[in-house]
Amino acid sequence: MASGRQQVGLKFKQFDYVTDFSDHFYHLRAMSKKSNVNDGKVHNKNSVNRIMKEWEILEKHLPESIFVRVYEGRIDLLRAAIIGAEKTPYHHGLFFFDILFPSDYPNKPPKVRYHSFGLRLNPNLYGDGFVCLSLLNTWVGHETEMWDPLNSTILQVLLSLQGLVLNEKPYYNEPGAKPAWSWENYNADVFTLSCKTMLFLLQNPLRNFEAIIAAHFREHGGTILRACIAYRECRVCIGFFNGDDSTTPSSKKKIRISKKFKNSMDELYPKLFEAFNGIGAPLQNLPEKLVNDIDIQQKPGKGIISRLKTFWEAIMSY
């Protein structure tokens, strides 16, 4: 049986042409006159040819985990959706990027904006949407890591965002990151923010991706909820749930999670359940909300008060 990603890929084209760019970040920015971005026309013939070549590369070589839409009326705009990879705290999330080809492309790298919804879930992705990446010349790196007009491509940018930014331990993307701050704690925050991003996308889907967003979370909603449970119950390190409810840690190190993370899951889980259920995700045998520690202590037959009551009832029966 094909995987969830493959099913989505078979139903929707990885690369396609659309017409509605009205909610694209760089179109809106130009309309508000906050910057001197392109007017929608790339006058340089060499730039036009290069962009068309980029489209061909994307159409032929996009992985199943990345969807791209280009605009028939705006050759300078592009929108991409990246599926968070497994064995990362971004697993099964959807992350959107709006891209602008400058008028003298490829002499200058593309401009990229992340749809953050005000959330910073990675050192390279700011809450205001700024993307920090050497390949975009927005971060200082080695010469071989910077934008090369002759060889660098949009596909390389997207693969870098997926593989180098949305990775297994994003805490270490932070310059000067020290082991004293546990990467597990950072992963807990990242997964929480990824769940919030899912809710934002389901409530306010981006144009031309409405069906993809719904189909993706319809297929993976159950797995995401089971991951919430597994992480909440400390059965697996955050970011490493493999879809198996019996998952156990791969190491002997005891898994600990903060009270903050527990509270976040207790709050977000029922909202995710409702959202996934609303789009028809199969959620059989999954609870509508998580049972927190207080509920467990007060559950009949489990707490000390219940045991004392049973004891005194036995005494009084004599």
Q: Return the structure tokens found at 24.
A: 């694209």
Q: Catalytic residue numbers? A: 132
Calpha distance 267→253 (Å, rounded) = 27
The whole-angstrom separation of Cα 147 and Cα 104 is 14
CA 28, 34, 36, 39 torsion-angle sign? positive
Per-residue tokens: 83: 């599926």
First to last CA, the chain: 63
259-278 helix and 210-232 helix, angle to the nearest 10 degrees: 140
8 A C-beta contact, residue 90 and residue 73: no
69-105 burial: b if 16+ Cβ within 10 Å, else e: bbbeebbbbbbbbbbbbbebbbbbbbbbbbbbbbbeb
Q: What is the CA radius of gyration of the chain?
A: 23
Can you tell me whether residue 179 is helix, strand or coil?
coil
Tokens (6 digits) for 104: 């003298």
